[in-house]
Amino acid sequence: MTNQQFEPFYDVNRTYDDNYRQGPFGLFAQALTGGTTTETDATSACAATPASVLGFPVNLPFGIPAGPLLNSRFTTAAFRMGFDLAVYKTVRSRAWGCNPFPNVLAVHPKAADGSLTPGSAELDEGVLADTRYNLPISISNSFGVPSRDPDVWQPDMRDAIAAAGPGQLLVPSFQGSRVAGMSTDEYIADHVACARLVCETGAQLMEMNTSCPNEGHNRLLCHDPHLVGRITEAVKNEIGDRPLIVKLAYFPSDIELETMVRETVGHGTAQGFSTINTISAKLVDASGNQALPGEGRDRSGVCGNAIRGAGLDMVRRLSAIRERLGLDFAIVGVGGVIEPEHYLAYREAGADAVMSATGAMWDATLAQRIKAAIGA
Protein backbone atom coordinates (compact mmCIF):
# COMPACT_ATOMS: atom_id res chain seq x y z
CA MET A 1 0.00 0.00 0.00
CA THR A 2 1.22 3.51 -0.74
CA ASN A 3 1.08 6.30 1.84
CA GLN A 4 -2.12 7.85 0.64
CA GLN A 5 -5.47 8.51 2.24
CA PHE A 6 -8.11 5.88 1.59
CA GLU A 7 -11.81 6.37 2.03
CA PRO A 8 -12.66 4.36 5.15
CA PHE A 9 -15.90 2.37 5.17
CA TYR A 10 -16.60 3.97 8.55
CA ASP A 11 -16.51 7.74 7.97
CA VAL A 12 -14.56 9.23 10.88
CA ASN A 13 -15.86 12.71 9.99
CA ARG A 14 -19.46 11.66 10.72
CA THR A 15 -21.09 10.81 14.01
CA TYR A 16 -21.58 7.23 15.09
CA ASP A 17 -25.35 7.55 14.55
CA ASP A 18 -24.83 8.93 11.04
CA ASN A 19 -22.54 6.03 10.22
CA TYR A 20 -25.07 3.57 11.64
CA ARG A 21 -27.91 5.00 9.53
CA GLN A 22 -26.04 5.96 6.34
CA GLY A 23 -22.99 3.68 6.19
CA PRO A 24 -21.00 1.90 5.09
CA PHE A 25 -19.06 4.11 2.72
CA GLY A 26 -16.42 3.74 0.03
CA LEU A 27 -15.89 0.30 -1.50
CA PHE A 28 -18.12 -1.28 1.14
CA ALA A 29 -21.02 0.84 -0.12
CA GLN A 30 -20.25 -0.22 -3.68
CA ALA A 31 -20.18 -3.87 -2.63
CA LEU A 32 -23.76 -3.60 -1.38
CA THR A 33 -24.92 -2.30 -4.75
CA GLY A 34 -22.87 -4.74 -6.82
CA GLY A 35 -20.45 -2.05 -7.93
CA THR A 36 -17.26 -3.82 -6.85
CA THR A 37 -15.84 -7.27 -6.10
CA THR A 38 -18.45 -9.58 -4.65
CA GLU A 39 -18.05 -12.26 -2.00
CA THR A 40 -18.19 -14.97 -4.65
CA ASP A 41 -15.34 -13.44 -6.65
CA ALA A 42 -13.23 -12.71 -3.58
CA THR A 43 -13.48 -16.12 -1.96
CA SER A 44 -13.86 -18.64 -4.76
CA ALA A 45 -10.15 -19.43 -4.83
CA CYS A 46 -10.23 -20.36 -1.14
CA ALA A 47 -13.39 -22.45 -1.26
CA ALA A 48 -11.67 -25.65 -2.34
CA THR A 49 -9.55 -25.88 0.83
CA PRO A 50 -11.45 -24.15 3.63
CA ALA A 51 -9.95 -23.73 7.08
CA SER A 52 -11.80 -24.31 10.32
CA VAL A 53 -12.41 -21.98 13.24
CA LEU A 54 -13.97 -23.60 16.32
CA GLY A 55 -15.36 -26.31 14.07
CA PHE A 56 -16.86 -23.92 11.52
CA PRO A 57 -15.46 -23.99 7.95
CA VAL A 58 -14.12 -20.68 6.66
CA ASN A 59 -12.50 -19.93 3.33
CA LEU A 60 -9.68 -18.02 5.03
CA PRO A 61 -9.49 -17.43 8.80
CA PHE A 62 -9.36 -13.67 8.38
CA GLY A 63 -11.92 -10.99 9.05
CA ILE A 64 -12.97 -7.88 10.93
CA PRO A 65 -13.39 -7.79 14.73
CA ALA A 66 -16.03 -6.12 16.87
CA GLY A 67 -15.97 -2.36 16.38
CA PRO A 68 -16.43 -1.00 12.85
CA LEU A 69 -19.17 -3.40 11.65
CA LEU A 70 -22.14 -1.52 13.07
CA ASN A 71 -25.03 -3.49 11.58
CA SER A 72 -25.98 -5.99 8.89
CA ARG A 73 -25.16 -3.61 6.04
CA PHE A 74 -21.57 -3.38 7.26
CA THR A 75 -21.20 -7.13 7.88
CA THR A 76 -22.77 -8.01 4.53
CA ALA A 77 -20.40 -5.66 2.72
CA ALA A 78 -17.49 -7.22 4.60
CA PHE A 79 -18.50 -10.68 3.42
CA ARG A 80 -18.82 -9.47 -0.15
CA MET A 81 -15.34 -7.94 0.01
CA GLY A 82 -13.90 -11.31 1.00
CA PHE A 83 -13.62 -10.94 4.77
CA ASP A 84 -14.73 -14.44 5.78
CA LEU A 85 -15.11 -13.67 9.50
CA ALA A 86 -17.28 -10.72 10.48
CA VAL A 87 -17.92 -9.75 14.09
CA TYR A 88 -21.16 -7.85 14.64
CA LYS A 89 -20.43 -4.82 16.82
CA THR A 90 -20.89 -5.47 20.55
CA VAL A 91 -24.51 -5.40 21.67
CA ARG A 92 -26.07 -5.00 25.10
CA SER A 93 -29.28 -6.01 26.83
CA ARG A 94 -30.42 -2.38 26.68
CA ALA A 95 -29.86 0.70 24.55
CA TRP A 96 -26.59 2.46 25.35
CA GLY A 97 -25.41 5.84 24.08
CA CYS A 98 -22.18 6.64 22.26
CA ASN A 99 -19.46 8.94 23.54
CA PRO A 100 -19.60 12.47 22.08
CA PHE A 101 -18.21 13.12 18.61
CA PRO A 102 -15.40 12.92 17.58
CA ASN A 103 -14.67 9.30 18.42
CA VAL A 104 -11.77 8.71 16.07
CA LEU A 105 -8.57 10.71 15.74
CA ALA A 106 -5.31 9.81 14.05
CA VAL A 107 -2.68 8.87 16.66
CA HIS A 108 1.05 9.53 16.18
CA PRO A 109 3.38 7.70 18.61
CA LYS A 110 6.97 8.95 18.89
CA ALA A 111 8.63 5.69 17.80
CA ALA A 112 9.96 5.66 14.25
CA ASP A 113 7.81 2.63 13.43
CA GLY A 114 4.72 4.22 15.00
CA SER A 115 4.43 1.61 17.74
CA LEU A 116 3.32 1.90 21.35
CA THR A 117 4.83 -0.32 24.03
CA PRO A 118 2.59 -1.40 26.92
CA GLY A 119 3.84 0.14 30.16
CA SER A 120 5.86 2.88 28.45
CA ALA A 121 5.92 6.40 29.92
CA GLU A 122 4.56 7.81 26.65
CA LEU A 123 1.15 6.27 27.36
CA ASP A 124 0.77 8.47 30.45
CA GLU A 125 2.73 11.51 29.31
CA GLY A 126 0.63 11.96 26.18
CA VAL A 127 0.49 10.76 22.58
CA LEU A 128 -0.24 13.24 19.79
CA ALA A 129 -3.69 12.86 18.21
CA ASP A 130 -5.12 14.92 15.36
CA THR A 131 -6.90 14.56 12.01
CA ARG A 132 -3.85 13.68 9.86
CA TYR A 133 -4.79 10.18 8.73
CA ASN A 134 -1.68 8.72 7.12
CA LEU A 135 -0.42 5.19 6.61
CA PRO A 136 0.56 3.16 8.54
CA ILE A 137 -2.63 4.14 10.33
CA SER A 138 -3.24 4.27 14.10
CA ILE A 139 -6.39 5.78 15.57
CA SER A 140 -8.27 6.45 18.79
CA ASN A 141 -11.23 4.23 19.65
CA SER A 142 -13.46 6.29 21.94
CA PHE A 143 -17.04 5.11 21.46
CA GLY A 144 -18.07 3.76 24.85
CA VAL A 145 -19.55 0.56 23.35
CA PRO A 146 -22.90 1.98 22.16
CA SER A 147 -25.79 -0.37 21.46
CA ARG A 148 -29.24 -0.22 19.95
CA ASP A 149 -32.15 -1.67 21.89
CA PRO A 150 -32.57 -5.46 21.42
CA ASP A 151 -35.77 -4.82 19.49
CA VAL A 152 -33.54 -3.20 16.86
CA TRP A 153 -30.38 -5.30 16.92
CA GLN A 154 -31.96 -8.74 17.17
CA PRO A 155 -33.75 -8.70 13.77
CA ASP A 156 -30.76 -6.97 12.20
CA MET A 157 -28.39 -9.60 13.61
CA ARG A 158 -30.59 -12.30 12.08
CA ASP A 159 -30.17 -10.58 8.70
CA ALA A 160 -26.41 -10.39 9.25
CA ILE A 161 -26.19 -14.12 10.00
CA ALA A 162 -28.27 -14.97 6.92
CA ALA A 163 -26.00 -12.91 4.64
CA ALA A 164 -22.90 -15.02 5.25
CA GLY A 165 -21.86 -16.88 2.12
CA PRO A 166 -20.30 -20.36 1.86
CA GLY A 167 -17.20 -20.54 4.05
CA GLN A 168 -18.12 -17.35 5.91
CA LEU A 169 -19.09 -16.85 9.55
CA LEU A 170 -20.94 -14.10 11.42
CA VAL A 171 -19.75 -13.78 15.02
CA PRO A 172 -22.01 -11.75 17.35
CA SER A 173 -20.25 -9.79 20.09
CA PHE A 174 -21.98 -8.93 23.37
CA GLN A 175 -21.24 -7.65 26.85
CA GLY A 176 -22.89 -6.99 30.18
CA SER A 177 -23.76 -3.46 31.27
CA ARG A 178 -22.92 -2.25 34.76
CA VAL A 179 -25.20 0.52 36.00
CA ALA A 180 -25.29 2.42 39.28
CA GLY A 181 -26.36 0.31 42.24
CA MET A 182 -25.98 -2.99 40.40
CA SER A 183 -24.62 -5.88 42.44
CA THR A 184 -22.06 -8.33 41.10
CA ASP A 185 -24.73 -11.01 40.80
CA GLU A 186 -26.93 -8.62 38.83
CA TYR A 187 -23.99 -7.73 36.61
CA ILE A 188 -23.41 -11.42 35.87
CA ALA A 189 -27.13 -11.87 35.23
CA ASP A 190 -27.05 -9.05 32.68
CA HIS A 191 -24.36 -10.88 30.73
CA VAL A 192 -26.55 -13.98 30.75
CA ALA A 193 -29.61 -12.01 29.63
CA CYS A 194 -27.70 -10.51 26.71
CA ALA A 195 -26.28 -13.90 25.71
CA ARG A 196 -29.82 -15.29 25.71
CA LEU A 197 -30.91 -12.49 23.36
CA VAL A 198 -28.02 -13.32 21.03
CA CYS A 199 -29.01 -17.01 21.03
CA GLU A 200 -32.51 -16.00 19.93
CA THR A 201 -31.08 -14.64 16.66
CA GLY A 202 -29.88 -18.11 15.66
CA ALA A 203 -26.20 -17.38 16.33
CA GLN A 204 -24.02 -20.49 16.29
CA LEU A 205 -21.29 -18.97 18.44
CA MET A 206 -20.55 -15.66 20.14
CA GLU A 207 -17.84 -13.43 21.54
CA MET A 208 -18.04 -11.86 24.99
CA ASN A 209 -16.31 -8.49 25.30
CA THR A 210 -14.36 -8.17 28.56
CA SER A 211 -11.81 -5.71 27.18
CA CYS A 212 -13.59 -2.39 27.70
CA PRO A 213 -13.70 -0.34 30.95
CA ASN A 214 -16.80 -1.93 32.44
CA GLU A 215 -15.51 -1.87 36.02
CA GLY A 216 -15.05 1.84 36.55
CA HIS A 217 -12.71 4.49 35.14
CA ASN A 218 -10.15 2.77 32.91
CA ARG A 219 -10.49 -0.54 34.77
CA LEU A 220 -11.04 -3.51 32.52
CA LEU A 221 -13.24 -6.47 33.32
CA CYS A 222 -10.70 -8.86 31.79
CA HIS A 223 -8.17 -7.89 34.44
CA ASP A 224 -10.37 -9.64 37.02
CA PRO A 225 -9.98 -13.26 35.84
CA HIS A 226 -12.01 -14.68 38.73
CA LEU A 227 -15.03 -12.52 37.89
CA VAL A 228 -14.67 -13.36 34.19
CA GLY A 229 -14.62 -17.00 35.20
CA ARG A 230 -17.88 -16.60 37.10
CA ILE A 231 -19.46 -14.78 34.17
CA THR A 232 -18.35 -17.30 31.55
CA GLU A 233 -19.71 -20.15 33.69
CA ALA A 234 -23.11 -18.46 33.92
CA VAL A 235 -23.13 -17.57 30.22
CA LYS A 236 -22.07 -21.06 29.16
CA ASN A 237 -24.92 -22.56 31.20
CA GLU A 238 -27.25 -20.37 29.14
CA ILE A 239 -25.83 -20.87 25.63
CA GLY A 240 -25.09 -24.59 25.84
CA ASP A 241 -22.87 -26.08 23.16
CA ARG A 242 -22.34 -22.81 21.29
CA PRO A 243 -18.63 -21.89 21.40
CA LEU A 244 -17.81 -18.83 23.51
CA ILE A 245 -14.88 -16.55 22.66
CA VAL A 246 -13.62 -14.10 25.30
CA LYS A 247 -12.25 -10.77 24.02
CA LEU A 248 -9.16 -9.65 25.97
CA ALA A 249 -7.06 -6.53 26.31
CA TYR A 250 -3.30 -6.67 26.83
CA PHE A 251 -2.06 -8.54 29.92
CA PRO A 252 1.37 -7.42 31.19
CA SER A 253 1.60 -10.39 33.54
CA ASP A 254 1.98 -14.00 32.40
CA ILE A 255 0.64 -15.13 35.78
CA GLU A 256 -2.60 -13.18 35.32
CA LEU A 257 -2.93 -14.35 31.72
CA GLU A 258 -2.52 -17.98 32.73
CA THR A 259 -5.03 -17.41 35.54
CA MET A 260 -7.51 -16.15 32.93
CA VAL A 261 -6.99 -19.30 30.86
CA ARG A 262 -7.41 -21.56 33.86
CA GLU A 263 -10.53 -19.72 35.10
CA THR A 264 -12.28 -20.03 31.74
CA VAL A 265 -10.93 -22.63 29.31
CA GLY A 266 -9.68 -24.71 32.20
CA HIS A 267 -13.25 -25.00 33.50
CA GLY A 268 -14.73 -25.64 30.06
CA THR A 269 -16.61 -22.33 30.00
CA ALA A 270 -14.74 -20.66 27.09
CA GLN A 271 -13.48 -22.08 23.83
CA GLY A 272 -11.27 -19.27 22.63
CA PHE A 273 -9.78 -15.82 23.13
CA SER A 274 -9.68 -12.80 20.82
CA THR A 275 -6.85 -10.40 21.58
CA ILE A 276 -6.07 -7.54 21.71
CA ASN A 277 -8.63 -4.77 21.67
CA THR A 278 -6.72 -1.52 22.22
CA ILE A 279 -3.96 0.00 24.35
CA SER A 280 -5.05 2.83 26.65
CA ALA A 281 -3.15 6.09 26.21
CA LYS A 282 -3.45 9.73 27.20
CA LEU A 283 -4.15 11.61 23.97
CA VAL A 284 -3.10 15.24 23.51
CA ASP A 285 -3.26 17.80 20.75
CA ALA A 286 -0.28 19.74 19.38
CA SER A 287 -0.50 22.16 22.35
CA GLY A 288 -0.48 19.34 24.89
CA ASN A 289 -4.17 19.72 25.75
CA GLN A 290 -6.72 16.91 25.96
CA ALA A 291 -7.40 15.80 22.40
CA LEU A 292 -10.89 14.33 22.81
CA PRO A 293 -13.53 16.63 24.30
CA GLY A 294 -15.48 15.81 27.43
CA GLU A 295 -15.01 14.68 30.99
CA GLY A 296 -13.32 11.33 31.47
CA ARG A 297 -11.95 11.25 27.92
CA ASP A 298 -8.37 12.26 28.64
CA ARG A 299 -7.47 8.66 27.78
CA SER A 300 -8.61 6.53 24.86
CA GLY A 301 -8.00 3.11 23.48
CA VAL A 302 -5.51 3.22 20.60
CA CYS A 303 -5.75 0.68 17.78
CA GLY A 304 -4.13 0.09 14.43
CA ASN A 305 -0.43 -0.03 13.54
CA ALA A 306 0.66 1.15 17.00
CA ILE A 307 -0.52 -2.00 18.78
CA ARG A 308 0.67 -4.76 16.42
CA GLY A 309 3.66 -5.62 18.60
CA ALA A 310 1.46 -5.94 21.69
CA GLY A 311 -1.08 -8.04 19.81
CA LEU A 312 1.57 -10.43 18.53
CA ASP A 313 3.06 -10.66 22.01
CA MET A 314 -0.28 -11.67 23.52
CA VAL A 315 -0.84 -14.31 20.84
CA ARG A 316 2.62 -15.80 21.37
CA ARG A 317 2.12 -15.94 25.14
CA LEU A 318 -1.36 -17.46 24.86
CA SER A 319 -0.02 -20.02 22.42
CA ALA A 320 2.77 -20.94 24.85
CA ILE A 321 0.25 -21.30 27.70
CA ARG A 322 -1.97 -23.45 25.50
CA GLU A 323 0.92 -25.78 24.76
CA ARG A 324 2.25 -25.85 28.31
CA LEU A 325 -1.13 -26.64 29.87
CA GLY A 326 -2.20 -29.02 27.12
CA LEU A 327 -5.47 -27.18 26.58
CA ASP A 328 -7.45 -26.86 23.38
CA PHE A 329 -8.71 -23.36 22.63
CA ALA A 330 -8.78 -21.02 19.66
CA ILE A 331 -6.71 -17.84 19.50
CA VAL A 332 -7.90 -14.95 17.34
CA GLY A 333 -5.10 -12.45 16.78
CA VAL A 334 -6.11 -8.79 16.49
CA GLY A 335 -4.15 -5.57 16.33
CA GLY A 336 -2.33 -3.64 13.63
CA VAL A 337 -2.95 -5.91 10.65
CA ILE A 338 -2.48 -3.57 7.72
CA GLU A 339 -0.49 -5.64 5.23
CA PRO A 340 -0.61 -9.33 4.17
CA GLU A 341 2.65 -10.02 6.00
CA HIS A 342 0.98 -9.00 9.25
CA TYR A 343 -1.61 -11.73 8.77
CA LEU A 344 1.17 -14.25 8.27
CA ALA A 345 3.03 -12.99 11.34
CA TYR A 346 -0.03 -13.59 13.52
CA ARG A 347 -0.51 -17.06 12.10
CA GLU A 348 3.13 -17.90 12.75
CA ALA A 349 2.76 -16.60 16.31
CA GLY A 350 0.03 -19.18 16.95
CA ALA A 351 -3.21 -17.47 15.94
CA ASP A 352 -5.91 -19.78 14.56
CA ALA A 353 -7.62 -16.78 12.99
CA VAL A 354 -6.65 -13.14 12.40
CA MET A 355 -8.71 -9.97 12.25
CA SER A 356 -8.17 -6.35 11.26
CA ALA A 357 -10.31 -3.36 12.21
CA THR A 358 -8.33 -0.18 11.50
CA GLY A 359 -6.40 -1.63 8.56
CA ALA A 360 -9.58 -2.95 6.99
CA MET A 361 -11.40 0.33 7.55
CA TRP A 362 -8.89 2.17 5.41
CA ASP A 363 -8.31 -0.63 2.92
CA ALA A 364 -11.46 -2.53 1.99
CA THR A 365 -9.41 -4.76 -0.31
CA LEU A 366 -7.20 -6.08 2.50
CA ALA A 367 -8.76 -9.56 2.57
CA GLN A 368 -8.39 -9.87 -1.19
CA ARG A 369 -4.75 -8.75 -1.00
CA ILE A 370 -3.99 -11.33 1.68
CA LYS A 371 -5.60 -14.09 -0.38
CA ALA A 372 -3.59 -13.04 -3.42
CA ALA A 373 -0.36 -12.87 -1.42
CA ILE A 374 -0.67 -16.38 0.01
CA GLY A 375 -2.01 -17.89 -3.18
CA ALA A 376 -5.36 -18.78 -1.64
Q: How far is CA 65 from the centre of its chain?
A: 3
Task: Decide: 257 and 318 in contact? Cβ < 8 Å.
Answer: yes
What confidence tier does 34 reach under pLDDT thresholds 50, 70, 90? confident
For the chain, domains (ranges, CATH) are: 16-374 (3.20.20.70)
If we measure between CA atoms, which residue out of 345, 356, 349 comes closest to residue 319?
A: 349
pLDDT-derived band of residue 372, with 50, 70 and 90 as boundaries?
Answer: very high
Q: Is 60 exceeded by the pLDDT of residue 36?
A: no
Mean of all residue pLDDT scores within the chain: 93
The arithmetic mean of pLDDT across residues 44-61, rounded, is: 81
The mean per-residue pLDDT over the stretch 338-349 comes to 98
Amino acid at 188: I
Could you give the CA distance from residue 84 to residue 367 in angstroms, rounded to a whole number?
A: 8
How far is it, in rounded angstroms, from Cα 29 to Cα 40?
A: 17
How many other CB atoms are there within 10 angstroms of residue 287's CB atom? 6
pLDDT tens-digit profile of 126-145?
Answer: 999 999 999 899 999 999 99
Q: Is the Cβ–Cβ distance between 75 and 28 less than 8 Å? A: no
Q: Among residues of the chain, what percentage have pLDDT more than 70?
A: 93
pLDDT tens figures, 59-81:
999 999 999 999 999 999 999 99
pLDDT band, very low/low/confident/very high, at 56 (cuts 50, 70, 90): very high
